[in-house]
Amino acid sequence: MSSENSQRTEPGAQEDRAQKEELNKKIKEQKIVVDELSNLKKNRRVYTLQPNSNIFFLADKGETLSTCKEDLDNMRKEYRDI
């Protein structure tokens, strides 16, 4: 019986594990983005990709950095909740 119970819970556990791994990958990518933005010189330009298009627009470095940090914090909270 215990083997039947473990088989029933495995698909859900595997989905959670896969979701956690995917989120962990996104967190690592976001950390790199934050580090890169933090290390830019003052006179460097930052461009952001507009949603639903393939066009980049000039953006404020400080605003972009704070947005990326907020996204990273949200991802970390979501990771802890899983």
pLDDT in tens, 27-44: 999 999 999 999 999 999
CA separation, residue 52 to residues 25, 49, 55, 67 (Å): 23, 9, 9, 18
Q: Per the domain annotation, does 22 fall within a domain?
A: yes
User: pLDDT tens across 50-74, in order?
Assistant: 999 999 999 999 999 999 999 999 9
Q: Per the domain annotation, does 5 fall within a domain?
A: no
Residue-range definition of the domain harbouring residue 77: 12-81
Q: Per the domain annotation, does 48 fall within a domain?
A: yes
Six token digits for residue 71: 């996204």
Burial 23-46 (b: 16+ CB within 10 A, else e): eeeebeebeeebeebeeeeeeeeb
What pLDDT is stored for residue 10 in this prediction?
Answer: 67
Q: Per the domain annotation, does 54 fall within a domain?
A: yes
| pLDDT of 4 higher than 80 | no
Polymer length of the chain: 82
Q: Per the domain annotation, does 4 fall within a domain?
A: no
Q: Per the domain annotation, does 7 fall within a domain?
A: no
pTM of the model as a whole? 0.77
